[in-house]
Amino acid sequence: MSESLADRQRIDNALQAARDTKQLLVGRGVLRDAGALFASSFPSHSAILVADDSTYSVAGRALEESLSAAGVRLHDPAVLPAEGLYAESHFVDRALAAIAATDAIPVALGAGTINDVVKLAAHRAGRRYLCVATAASMDGYTAYGSSITHEGSKQTFDCPAPFAVVADIDIIAAAPAWLNASGYADLFAKCPAGADWLLADGLGVEAIDAPTWAMVQDRLCDWLADPEGVRRGEVEPIQRLTVALMMTGFAMQASLSSRPASGAEHQFSHLWDMENHTHDGSAPSHGFKVGIGSLASLRLYEAILDRPLDQIDVESAVNQWPKWSQDEATIPRLFDDPAPVNKAALINKGIEESNAKRISRNDLRKELTTLKDRWPQLRDRLSGHVYSVAEARDMLAAAGCPTESQQIGITPARLRSSHLKAYFLRRRYTVLDFVRRAGLWNELIGEEDSEPYPETPT
């Protein structure tokens, strides 16, 4: 079977298993089939396009022609300004107002921001929607839930994935290179994310779900194999990247969890989102943040894989383990940054999430005894899974992604202090939990209690 046939087979299997998405058209020139897909998905419904002025100018007319040719009645499009557009609740309100003024099915035309905005607006209007992807910039097209900033804080809202998705590779390959580079980094993140799941599985914390694991991990190395082709906007590598991102979205849709696609590397990105981090006046792309997070995570993997943890001193690690009252005191101090960030929201989230994963010394003793017993097999599994930091840097750089945190405005000192904040902000077990529970934090990352990062964030 050819590679693209094998991918088509995987997509068809994923569609069978998907809760929300029933159709995915991916390939060159498939925009012309969007109208027929709409008509068969939503018989006798009219359509309202939601786009931004840049995606509308790229593909709006062609999409409208395809819809009209299929006999679909069109309302005036809702075109948001591309300048200053981000996944924020005011834009959801604007899209919802336009949608609710009609009885039409929304058609999202754009990348991550437009899709997240329309996903939530359509849900609030009580309607399903069609998504036409204009870049391979992240894996959220086919994912359940929408990531939206509300009252200054980024939140994930429950809402179904699109009913159908159209991904025209001619349009996606011509998207600005940084968008597809961002998608490459978001796909690359599945390497450390998968390692985190291997750790959680190996230590009995969270078992791997074989079908969703396979959807993301079986072909990951092949999907990541041509970063230069992605940077050059070549059709085949871009198609492979697009399929890969759709598949990881399907895995999240099937499990109603981001576990198959997200680990510690995403926690760095969530932290910087919650801190409203900007660089040169705007937030770095999701993919570029998780790319830097991936390198931070892989650095930890490289360090732990070097260690004979089958000889770990369990009692010494257990004795170092902080009491919950210590963490409860650390969290407010840690997030007490000079910058005007959402301090209260960060502290509350830190307490809530850390409380959810707190572990007694007795349970930690059991977990570390398991680690001691299973380390040789677990280490083999992990070392067969992760890229070295050097390989990862080369791959990300070849795709056109940043490989130094300063390139996205995060100083080395801030990156270091971000480890502990990221650890506290999510209950999900990752390499950060592993390092802390094994008593390796100070050695691998630095003193927990040293001062918060001193620089003014850019």
Q: Under the rule (CB under 5 A), what is the footprint of Zn ion?
A: 186
Look at the block and give the residue holding tokens 């991102």.
245
Nearest C-alpha neighbor of 428 from the set 235, 243, 267: 267
Q: Is residue 274 a contact partner of residue 153, using CB atoms and an 8 Å limit?
A: yes
Distance of alpha carbon 51 from the chain centroid: 22
Q: Is 127 left (phi over 0), alpha (psi -120 to 50) or beta?
A: beta
Residue nearest to Zn ion (CB): 186
Looking at beta carbons only, is 133 or 368 nearer to Zn ion? 133
Query: Pairing state of beta strands 105-110 and 47-52?
Result: parallel
DSSP codes, 307-375: S-GGG--HHHHHHHPPPHHHHHHHHHHHT--SS---HHHHHHHHHHHHHHT---HHHHHHHHHHHHHHH
Q: In the chain, how long is the greatest CA-to-CA distance?
A: 72
User: In whole angstroms, how close is the CB of 358 to Zn ion at the nearest point?
Assistant: 27
User: In whole angstroms, how close is the CB of 147 to Zn ion at the nearest point?
Assistant: 9
Looking at beta carbons only, is 138 or 331 nearer to Zn ion? 138
Whole-angstrom distance, CA of residue 18 vs CA of residue 212: 11
User: In whole angstroms, how close is the CB of 141 to Zn ion at the nearest point?
Assistant: 12
User: In whole angstroms, how close is the CB of 99 to Zn ion at the nearest point?
Assistant: 26
Looking at beta carbons only, is 186 or 433 nearer to Zn ion? 186
The packing angle between helices 361-383 and 190-202, to 10°, is 130
Looking at beta carbons only, is 54 or 258 nearer to Zn ion? 258
Looking at beta carbons only, is 66 or 262 nearer to Zn ion? 262
User: In whole angstroms, how close is the CB of 370 to Zn ion at the nearest point?
Assistant: 30
Looking at beta carbons only, is 66 or 430 nearer to Zn ion? 430
User: In whole angstroms, how close is the CB of 258 to Zn ion at the nearest point?
Assistant: 8
Backbone angles phi, psi at 140, to 5 degrees: -85, -10
Nearest C-alpha neighbor of 189 from the set 419, 391, 412, 396: 396
Looking at beta carbons only, is 245 or 300 nearer to Zn ion? 245
Whole-angstrom distance, CA of residue 370 vs CA of residue 349: 30
Looking at beta carbons only, is 66 or 146 nearer to Zn ion? 146
User: In whole angstroms, how close is the CB of 139 to Zn ion at the nearest point?
Assistant: 6
User: In whole angstroms, how close is the CB of 103 to Zn ion at the nearest point?
Assistant: 34
Find the Cα–Cα–Cα–Cα dihedral 122, 125, 126, 128, rounded to 10°.
Answer: -20
Looking at beta carbons only, is 52 or 186 nearer to Zn ion? 186
Backbone angles phi, psi at 79, to 5 degrees: -110, 110
User: In whole angstroms, how close is the CB of 267 to Zn ion at the nearest point?
Assistant: 11
Q: Is residue 360 a contact partner of residue 368, using CB atoms and an 8 Å limit?
A: no
